[in-house]
Amino acid sequence: MTPDAPDLDSFEDIALRTVEGFPPPFRDAARQVLLRVTDWPTKEMLAALQIAEPVRLTGLYEGIPMTRKSVLDMAMQPDTVWLFREPILHEWRLRGNVEIEDLIAHVTIHEFAHHFGWSDAEIARVAPWET
């Protein structure tokens, strides 16, 4: 039996604490990114990523990675990291061997790593996560 699942505000608190734990240069850059926590990804997000099952998307970075930005770029929208509560809870329940705070922190770090310009393969090499 799993303990009670944290609500959206608790997810956001955990994610914000995770960002505050980043080393100063990364923390300062991460503070410039919007953090959004919602229960599910939108149909448009899923379609753009060609994901059929919403539970498969735990987080998303929308924006231009820092490594590709130019001072001449005019952002159409602010860089945003999305965390999706229900897919994260689904993974947490399936795993049964990880603390929810650790999983939220893992997804948060993963999505911010995309903001810093890292690919999924690079993130996996540095921060392996059991599948």
Q: Please tell me the distance from the alpha carbon of residue 131 to that of residue 128, in angstroms, as a whole number.
A: 9
pLDDT number for residue 131: 45
Number of domains the chain contains: 1
Dihedrals phi, psi of 108, to nearest 5 degrees: -60, -50
Instruction: Give domain status of residue 36, yes or no.
Output: yes
121 in a structural domain: yes
pLDDT at residue number 117: 81
Contact 29, 114 (CB under 8 A): no
Structure tokens at 9: 């505000």
Q: Is the pLDDT of residue 81 over 80?
A: yes
Q: Within a domain: residue 61?
A: yes
Domain assignment of residue 91, yes or no = yes
Q: What is the β-pairing status of strands 80-84 and 34-38?
A: parallel
Confidence class of residue 122 from pLDDT cuts 50, 70 and 90?
confident
Does the pLDDT of residue 115 top 90, yes or no?
Answer: no
User: Is 71 part of any domain?
Assistant: no
Confidence of residue 33 (pLDDT cuts 50, 70, 90): very high
Mean pLDDT of the chain: 89
CATH number where 57 lies:
3.30.2010.20
54: pLDDT strictly greater than 90: yes
Domain range spanning residue 57? 8-65+78-125
pLDDT of residue 71: 65
Vertex 124: Cα angle to 81 and 122 (nearest 5) = 80
Name which of 89, 69, 77 is nearest 10 in CA terms.
89
Lowest mean pLDDT, pick from 51-55, 82-86, 93-97: 93-97
